[in-house]
Structure 1
Amino acid sequence: MDVHNAFLHGDLDEEVYMKLPPGFRHSHPGKVWRLRKSLYGLKQAPRCWFKKLSDSLLRFGFFQSYDDYSLFSYTRKNIELHVLIYVDDLIICGNDSYMLQKFKDYLSRCFSMKDLGKLKYFLGLEVSRGPDGFFLSQRKYALDIVADHGDDLRTRPAYTPVEQNHHLATDDGPLLTHPRSYRRLVGRLLYLLHTRPELSYAVHVLAQFMQASREAHMEAALRVVSYLGGSSGHGILLHSLPDLTIDVYCDSDWSSCPITRRSLSAYVVLLGGSPVSWKTKKQKTVSHSSAEAKYRAMSVALKEIQWLRKLLKELGIDQAAPARLFCDSKAAIHIATNPVFHERTKHIKNDFHAVRDAVRDDCHAVRTNEQLADIFTKALGCDQFHYILSTLGVRDLHPPS
């Protein structure tokens, strides 16, 4: 559902005055208007609108999630409704059609609403339904990026988003004369990461050169666009299977940054075999060994597991079985399961030792060639890249002709 003129519904608590619009005349020259409602352009407008909407939902009987403030849930006996909010766009789901219609009628009385029907297109995300589940993609968005840079693409398509054994961080080639185009392209690629996990590492690397963009960096960004040209229909399939166990693969690339020598952490979360969360991020401190870097990656993945379990619980999904954490470093697993901290682990922060209490016997070793998080930490060869891609469940409903 969509709200018409959403910000105009917000009630102002502060005193805000505005000058009269040019050309407007009245009998009290030199005076200004005091606003009773929020207007577009005010800093208070988004907050006032969200408060107005959330108060309406709370009056209906919803409760607000503490783990995701944009999520509201309604539970009465066997009836469940969930509302996800993005500014003035609402996604509503539930298990009772009568209650759904009753709730939509209530919203229409509170605000000027537009019912857009079943979810098909939302903020650039395309949603397709089938017997196997939901398929999420950004095909139109990807095709728009390719179309805008069609003249700059190489004639030979790219089968991976980033070249293996690249040296982008140490490149000292000429700077771009117009870096704004590079920044705009990388910004557009960032939004693709919602449904394209295989682009996480490539975009992470490219985003580090916003300040001083060079020609080699632009060529690497155009390689990603070339890759999109042959894989614009790629997306993730959320399976409709009843299995909702959490499997997490975490990995790190030790001392991968040649400038700061900081390691790279990454994880991917699979819910019932479907990827629902992933991240690539440079670690805040320098790790003294690969085992320490892997251990820090496990700590980051653990925080995501804890947040996701709480979110699922608010959605009415109790995780009876523990989440399984997969790592390809036996040394890091031994540190996590060892109840005694020796001198080689004292320099690791105390919060990382929370991993030991959380994983217990649910931390498993995985072979390096089966580590799904590898695609988030390094540039892989074509064979290994596409093997992990298929294992993650990335599909293409619109293969190029």
Structure 2
Amino acid sequence: MDVKSTFLNGFIEEEVYVRQPPSFESAKFPNQVFKLRKALCGLKQAPKAWYARLKSFLLKSGFVMGSVDKTLFLLSRGGDTLIVQIYVDDIIFGGSSHALVSSFAEQMSREFEMSLMGELQFFLGLQIKQGTEGTFVHQAKYTKDILKKFDMGDSKPMTTPMSTNTALVADKDGEAASPRTSHRQAVKRIFRYLKFAPELGLWYSSGSSLSLRGFSDADHASCRIDHKSTSGTSLVSWSSRKQASVSLSTTAAEYIAAASCSS
């Protein structure tokens, strides 16, 4: 579902004043200003005010907010569960009961002006194909668009995103090219890998178990500049990034990666 005029729904707690809009000035009080009671589009408080109102509404409706992801809300009713994920004005939701899902859609439509978009097919660059055998999530369109944007559509495909012998460093003596030629070549290698596998994705079989399995790995002190380790985790979302602190051993690096994956 999509919320219409999202930022007009929030209530602001601060005192905010605006000039009288052109063609709507008061002839009696031309030098006075308006005090806002609700948020307006373009107001810096508007996103926070909208989220506060939506969160308050969902919590009063019996939802529980995620302990890590504050935009994830869950509702348990008997033996059924409803899951709601929010991204500003875009909301995706689903559950184990059709009646529970329909009730939520009606409840939201009564409280806010909504557009029901139907079955989920596209969300934040992700393409979703749902069928009786399962659900397939991929980014084929995004991949093709980014290859076209950087004129890499005709590049030679590569079967892996990076060579195992590559170790990126600051390369301060290398030729400057946003920021260095060696870095640009590494990115081009990733693009060539995307050209090789544009429609790879995640397959969730409807016949498989609903239990979550997480995977984590760490490369101890892999950064040659600050000696920080790199974590790779996969559970709900995949990520690979440097750890915030320096690990003194491979074991410590693996523990940090495992904790991140659990979160």
TM-score range, shorter chain: 0.7 to 0.9
Asked whether the 8 Å contact 2:39–2:45 carries over to 1, the reply is yes
Q: Which residue of 2 aligns with 1:320?
A: none
Q: Which residue of 2 aligns with 1:325?
A: none
Give the structure with the larger helix fraction.
Answer: 1
Residue 167 of structure 1 deviates from its aligned partner by 4.2
Q: Are 2:212 and 1:251 equivalent residues in the alignment? A: no
Give the aligned residue type for 1:235.
G
Q: Please show how residues 182-331 of structure 1 align to structure 2 within 5 Å.
A: 213-269=179-235, 276-287=236-247, 292-305=249-262, 307=263
Q: What do the CA deviations read for 1:195-223 (whole angstroms, capped 9, x no partner)?
A: xxxxxxxxxxxxxxxxxx11221222122
Q: What do the CA deviations read for 1:284-310 (whole angstroms, capped 9, x no partner)?
A: 45555xxx22432233313532x3xxx
Give the aligned residue type for 1:94.
G
Q: Please show how residues 2-401 of structure 1 align to structure 2 within 5 Å.
A: 2-27=2-27, 28-150=29-151, 155-169=155-169, 171=171, 172-176=173-177, 179=178, 213-269=179-235, 276-287=236-247, 292-305=249-262, 307=263
Q: Are the structure 2 counterparts of residues 79 and 287 from structure 1 closer, same or farther at C-alpha, using a change threshold of 3 Å?
A: closer
Q: What do the CA deviations read for 1:132-189 (whole angstroms, capped 9, x no partner)?
A: 4211111111111011122x5674322221233124315321112xx4xxxxxxxxxx
Asked whether the 8 Å contact 1:137–1:234 carries over to 2, the reply is yes
Asked whether the 8 Å contact 2:7–2:50 carries over to 1, the reply is yes
Asked whether the 8 Å contact 2:121–2:129 carries over to 1, the reply is yes
Asked whether the 8 Å contact 1:252–1:294 carries over to 2, the reply is no
Aligned-partner SS, 1:262: coil
Q: Which moved more, 1:80-89 or 1:93-102?
A: 93-102
Aligned-partner SS, 1:267: strand
Give the aligned residue type for 1:6.
T
Asked whether the 8 Å contact 1:263–1:283 carries over to 2, the reply is yes
Q: Which residue of 2 aligns with 1:361?
A: none
Q: Are the structure 2 counterparts of residues 85 and 247 from structure 1 closer, same or farther at C-alpha, using a change threshold of 3 Å?
A: closer
Q: Are the structure 2 counterparts of residues 13 and 170 from structure 1 closer, same or farther at C-alpha, using a change threshold of 3 Å?
A: closer
Give the aligned residue type for 2:98.
S
Aligned-partner SS, 2:93: strand
What's the Cα RMSD here? Answer: 2.4
Q: What do the CA deviations read for 1:73-94 (whole angstroms, capped 9, x no partner)?
A: 2223234322211111111212
TM-score (norm 2): 0.87
Q: What do the CA deviations read for 1:367-396 (whole angstroms, capped 9, x no partner)?
A: xxxxxxxxxxxxxxxxxxxxxxxxxxxxxx
Residue 43 of structure 1 deviates from its aligned partner by 2.1
Q: Are the structure 2 counterparts of residues 255 and 63 from structure 1 closer, same or farther at C-alpha, using a change threshold of 3 Å?
A: closer
Residue 15 of structure 1 deviates from its aligned partner by 0.8
Aligned-partner SS, 1:83: strand
User: For 2:221 and 2:161, how far apart are their aligned partners in 1?
Assistant: 22
User: For 1:81 and 1:3, how far apart are their aligned partners in 2?
Assistant: 19
User: For 2:205 and 2:251, how far apart are their aligned partners in 1?
Assistant: 30
Residue 58 of structure 1 deviates from its aligned partner by 2.9
Asked whether the 8 Å contact 1:3–1:111 carries over to 2, the reply is yes
Name stretches of at least 5 consecutive residues in structure 2 with no aligned partner. none
User: For 1:21 and 1:277, how far apart are their aligned partners in 2?
Assistant: 45
Asked whether the 8 Å contact 1:15–1:34 carries over to 2, the reply is yes
Name stretches of at least 5 consecutive residues in structure 1 with no aligned partner. 180-212, 270-275, 308-401
Aligned-partner SS, 1:40: coil
Asked whether the 8 Å contact 2:219–2:253 carries over to 1, the reply is no
Give the aligned residue type for 2:52.
K
Asked whether the 8 Å contact 1:161–1:227 carries over to 2, the reply is yes
User: For 2:51 and 2:175, how far apart are their aligned partners in 1?
Assistant: 47
User: For 1:94 and 1:283, how far apart are their aligned partners in 2?
Assistant: 35
Aligned-partner SS, 1:128: strand
Residue 229 of structure 1 deviates from its aligned partner by 1.8
- Which aligned segments of 4 or more residues in structure 1 are displaced greater than 6 angstroms? none
Aligned-partner SS, 1:142: helix
Residue 99 of structure 1 deviates from its aligned partner by 3.3
Give the aligned residue type for 2:219.
D
